[in-house]
Amino acid sequence: MNEWELIKQLRLGDQAAFKLLVETWQDMVYNTALGIVQHPEDAEDIAQETFVQVYQSVGTFKGEAKFSTWLYRITLSKAMDHLRKAKRKKRFAFVRSIFGDKDEQVIQVTDFNHPGITLDNKEAAATLFKAIQKLPDKQKIAFTLNKVEGLSYQEISEIMDTTVSSVESLLHRAKTNLRIWLEDFYPENG
């Protein structure tokens, strides 16, 4: 079934088409979300939310961009929303702890596990991904799509709805920031 046939069947509410959609795109959606939020359970939740939104809003897909571009946009939007909510919860928990509510547990960063990271590279990967989390949102998205997902500058520009030169600039700034932050961890690379 080609992309447009799949979209047509999804618009008709075909459950088999939805199952095919999930089977075809679940790894990409999960890995993209995981690259942004860095928590497997959260990435699973985001993937589920993404597919639910795709199913509910496939009627609004106009085909002006590739279906994969639209799917990346939804995934990234869900992942960034999740990060914003987590930051608000973290700030609220911190404020509550200041004012004496010791029962409130502050959200802790868990160990990072990505399916593409081998066991002997876990420490380096965890350090890198902690540094990536410090990047401004647009730099984080561009860097993740390029270095983790392996997308071209052109694909990233379509997903982020910006120019290729803007993507190049975002990636350059992201690499510069990461180089500064990771200097102590990788001193031999300067």
- The per-residue pLDDT for 158 is 93
Show the tokens assigned to 104: 């409130």
Q: Where are the domains of the chain?
A: 1-110, 112-190
Q: What amino acid occupies position 89?
A: K
d(CA 28, CA 170): 22
- The closest of 84, 5, 10, 1 to 51, measured between CA atoms, is 10
pLDDT band at 182 (very low <50, low <70, confident <90, very high): confident
71 vs 187 pLDDT, higher one: 71
| Residue 31 pLDDT exceeds 60 | yes
Rounded to whole angstroms, the Cα distance separating 128 from 82 reads 20
Residue 115 CB-density burial (10 A; 0-12 exposed, 13-18 middle, 19+ buried):
exposed
Top pLDDT among 22 and 84 is at: 22
Q: Name the nearest CA neighbour of 125 among 49, 34, 26, 18.
A: 34
- pTM for the full predicted model: 0.70
Please state the rounded mean pLDDT for residues 109-131. Answer: 63
Q: How far is CA 28 from CA 10, 34, 68, 163, in A?
A: 19, 10, 9, 23
Give the CATH class of 112-190: mainly alpha
Q: Domain 1-110 adopts which CATH fold? A: Rna Polymerase Sigma Factor; Chain: A (1.10.1740)
